Structure 1
Amino acid sequence: MEYRRLEIAVTNRDDHRILQDIRVLDLTQYFSGPLATLYLSGLGAEVIRVDPPTGDLSSDTPLYAGPEGVSVERKTEDDMGAVFLKRCRAKKAITLNLKSEEGKLLFYRLVEKSDVVVDNFSVGVTKRLGVSYETLREINSQIVQCAITGFGLTGPDAAKRSYDVIAQAMSGLMSITGEPGGKAMKAGSPLADSISASFALSGILAALFHRIRTGHGQLVDISMVDCLFSLIYDDPLEAYDQLGMTMRQGNRIPRFSPFNVYETQDGEIVIGTSNNEMWRKLTEVMGCQELATDNDFGRTAWRLENNDIVDGVVEAWSKTCSTQEALAKLETAGIPSSAIPDIHAIKGSRQMQARGMVTPLLHPTIGPLPGLAAAGFPIKFSDSETGYDGPAVRAGQHNNEIFGKLLGIIDEDINRLKDAGTI
């Protein structure tokens, strides 16, 4: 097959979307996969959701958002899953029964005209459906396929099913999260889903660059557990263990002291010091400069071994200040510190607004949903445009466009495919 987009290496300077002209077939559902393809859309790719004729399961998963607000049960036909509305923005949507022979053939025709296929099926499902990389590369040798799974496509755990919390547990993240001596704890956000989506984006972009150089696509194998493990294992965990330090440190970082959350008169703040110079500045702010040269407090090793005592000194000072007073003094001294605002305050912050990181959450028929918002695209470029154009749409909304205009199927045959349950 002739390579149809090699000219992408020298794009028109007037084209301001990095992935303009890249077409993505999105077989994903729920969380990690839809977020990965959302990122691709944010970079300008044409993302086509390929749902079964019954629709995307996450669109009918609580919590719901609709004309009567947010609810745990569907109240109206217009209610849609809030996560679906966030993660399926700016994508086209078709329906296709991949279990039918005709549905498979239609998908193969789409693969011929596409650049990327993304799935987050359990291991073995793509082979059963006839859409594995081994099959698709015979149809289009330049296709890039990304498979997101819990444990990866290889290894003794490959066949195990996984959700975010399972990946957090099996990566070791939960074992080091929480208070010392307390229960293991998951992160407050589904980090395994989100981080694997980010790694999937990186892998897909790398594979597309490889295709530009070689003319060949390849399979990108993303394991949620691998992604999390690669991040947490960058920390010297064995060193903590050998020194008798507990790996589960709450809000502390075992290499730094003081480094924690501290009470103020009206809330809490985070203070982080990473060396003796910062500790000296902090003692000046607290009015106890003598501790900077004290035989005990003046040594990093002693502070690390006596974190409770050090934290007691810092909190005795922070409790004498309001949050704003404490932060003003710390920032003047150049000491990293922050209040701990909730998500509502962060949403309305001038910083988030200036960066375009908060956008209205749109419903396909209602428009902006009161009180709900979605994150903007997090990567900024000097020349290239990014962002999400349009709301999530219902399953099959672009059937006529994709099957009719892209594949050239006439209306009569599209109606027949609908009647047969193929689309």
Structure 2
Amino acid sequence: MEKILAGTVVLDLTRFFSGPQATLFLAGLGAEVIKIDDPATGDPTTFSPPFAGPEGVSFHRRTQADMGIAYLKRARGKKSVGLNLKDPEGLAAFMRLVRSADVVVDNFSAGVADRLGIGYEALRERNPRVIHCSLTGYGSTGAERHLKAYDLMVQAAVGMMSITGQPGSPPAKAGSPISDAIAGTFAAMGILAALLHRNRTGVGQSVDVSMADCLFALMFDEPFDCYDALELPLRQGNRIMRFSPFNAYRTLDGWIVAGAATQDDWNALLRVMGKVDLAQDPEMNSLAWRLANNAAVDSLVSEWTQRLTSTEVLQRLNAVKLPCSPVREIGDVMRWGQLKERGMMAPLWNPLAGAAVQAQGPGFPIKFSASKAEYDAPAPLPGQHSREVLTGLGGLSAEEVDALARRGAVSAP
């Protein structure tokens, strides 16, 4: 089966997480993603801790074959070209690649691409059909567009840290850099939409993706702006303000989560707990009362779960189709058969070591019935494809590539 984006050429100027996440998804869908890295510095994650190599994982390079785990994950399915865009001839070579490219992606700070001469207007002059996607912390417009941002700053800026954790607790971020991951996902979606638009109209365009916009768009489905009027604390812990009960509950040997989203769910939970008499209680049978008195409801559920093992609780709740789950630690997740059966845990190949390493990476998260979507090539060696891409896609001669390499504008091993 052919991949959906087969034949689509993406020039990837991104670094760290948000941009490489977007281009990783495009690679999984079959695009020819070409990483463009400075020959002098390379991708900053290539040799940054934590490392994985022949002697395992470590914060220190134990062998010359050790490579950064982040690079081994995020560069899968991509090609690598070392090209100095600050060198006039390196820039000219890049623009020759642009003529044949479908997409250019960067996550420079706002205005940097224009200063380098590779902003959308410059790209469009070379290729009117090109799609340019820019990922930034706060967008390419607005008074604060030039502020530098990482995930922590974005979670703080849009209020995510004010709603995460238990009531009365200090500000806390989500456990993973979700604003990066979410922005990368939205960027991939925006690029796909722009490609569809171009197929219909023949016209390329610029796609402006802000980490702050993307995170806010997802979290603001919840009516946080109404919490004061509803006399609710912003930090709800594991709760959700529309359902009760809906929380994490201790068992004899661990924790589970469970929630009653409907009246049928609530009645089923009462039966499982042996509390059917409460179905006639006008207060307990009222969702509005349970929401206002959630502590009493949680106490009722906890009293039941703490007398049983997690397995016993989950068996009884699943038997009545009540939404529930064990609270798995990461070690348990890595052994979870459901994710394994769906190909969501993939071995990582270290090209310097010529072997798989201890760490694993996520598989492609969307499954199609009529096409493949997977990362079917490992992360490349830095500059591995410079000659192939510059002579093939860019149309340079071997002698021209050699000349660029001699002046340091290209790394061509």
- TM-score of the superposed pair, with normalisation by structure 2: 0.97
In the alignment, does 2:129 pair up with 1:142? yes
Counterparts of 1:293 and 1:247 in 2: how far apart (Å)?
Answer: 32
Paired letter, 1:82: I
- Alpha-carbon contact 1:264-1:321 (below 8 Å) kept: yes
- 1:195 partner SS: helix
* 1:38-53 matches, cutoff 5 A: 38-53=24-39
User: Which residue of structure 2 lines up, in the alignment, with residue 10 of structure 1?
Assistant: none
In the alignment, does 2:305 pair up with 1:318? yes
User: Which residue of structure 2 lines up, in the alignment, with residue 26 of structure 1?
Assistant: 12
- 1:260 partner SS: strand
Counterparts of 2:139 and 2:47 in 1: how far apart (Å)?
Answer: 27
Counterparts of 1:32 and 1:73 in 2: how far apart (Å)?
Answer: 25
- 1:397 partner SS: coil
Paired letter, 1:27: L
- Judging changes above 3 Å, is the alpha-carbon distance between structure 1 residues 368 and 309 closer, same or farther for their aligned structure 2 residues? farther
Q: Deviation of residue 73 (structure 1)?
A: 2.0
User: Which residue of structure 2 lines up, in the alignment, with residue 5 of structure 1?
Assistant: none
Which residue, 336, 341, 356 being the options, matches 1:349? 336
User: Which residue of structure 2 lines up, in the alignment, with residue 85 of structure 1?
Assistant: 72
Counterparts of 2:50 and 2:13 in 1: how far apart (Å)?
Answer: 22
User: Which residue of structure 1 lines up, in the alignment, with residue 166 of structure 2?
Assistant: 179
Q: Deviation of residue 237 (structure 1)?
A: 1.5
- Alpha-carbon contact 1:360-1:368 (below 8 Å) kept: no
User: Which residue of structure 2 lines up, in the alignment, with residue 419 of structure 1?
Assistant: 406
Query: Which runs of 4 or more aligned residues in structure 1 lie more than 6 Å from their structure 2 counterparts after TM superposition?
Result: none
Measured against aligned partners, the alpha-carbon deviations of 1:365-415 in whole angstroms (never above 9, x if no partner) come to: 324444311111001111011100111112211011111233333333322
Counterparts of 2:405 and 2:134 in 1: how far apart (Å)?
Answer: 29
* 1:267-282 matches, cutoff 5 A: 267-282=254-269
- 2:45 partner SS: helix
In the alignment, does 2:193 pair up with 1:209? no
* 1:61-140 matches, cutoff 5 A: 61-140=48-127
Which residue, 363, 369, 376 being the options, matches 1:389? 376
Measured against aligned partners, the alpha-carbon deviations of 1:141-196 in whole angstroms (never above 9, x if no partner) come to: 00000000000000011000000111111121111111011111101111000000
* 1:190-229 matches, cutoff 5 A: 190-229=177-216
Measured against aligned partners, the alpha-carbon deviations of 1:297-353 in whole angstroms (never above 9, x if no partner) come to: 111111111111111110010011111100000000111000011222222222112
RMSD over equivalenced CA pairs, Å? 1.2
Counterparts of 1:295 and 1:45 in 2: how far apart (Å)?
Answer: 59
Counterparts of 2:369 and 2:116 in 1: how far apart (Å)?
Answer: 42
- Judging changes above 3 Å, is the alpha-carbon distance between structure 1 residues 153 and 377 closer, same or farther for their aligned structure 2 residues? same
Paired letter, 1:280: N
Structure 2 portions without partners, runs of 5+ = none
Counterparts of 1:208 and 1:333 in 2: how far apart (Å)?
Answer: 46
Paired letter, 2:203: H
Deviates more, 1:25-34 or 1:167-176: 167-176
Q: Deviation of residue 48 (structure 1)?
A: 0.2
Q: Deviation of residue 279 (structure 1)?
A: 1.0
Aligned length: 409
Paired letter, 1:372: A
User: Which residue of structure 2 lines up, in the alignment, with residue 8 of structure 1?
Assistant: none
User: Which residue of structure 2 lines up, in the alignment, with residue 17 of structure 1?
Assistant: 3
Q: Which has the higher contact order (CA 8 A, sep 6+)?
A: 2
Counterparts of 2:271 and 2:159 in 1: how far apart (Å)?
Answer: 39
- 2:173 partner SS: coil
Paired letter, 2:216: F
- TM-score of the superposed pair, with normalisation by structure 1: 0.95
Counterparts of 1:347 and 1:143 in 2: how far apart (Å)?
Answer: 40
* 1:367-406 matches, cutoff 5 A: 367-406=354-393
Counterparts of 1:368 and 1:32 in 2: how far apart (Å)?
Answer: 27
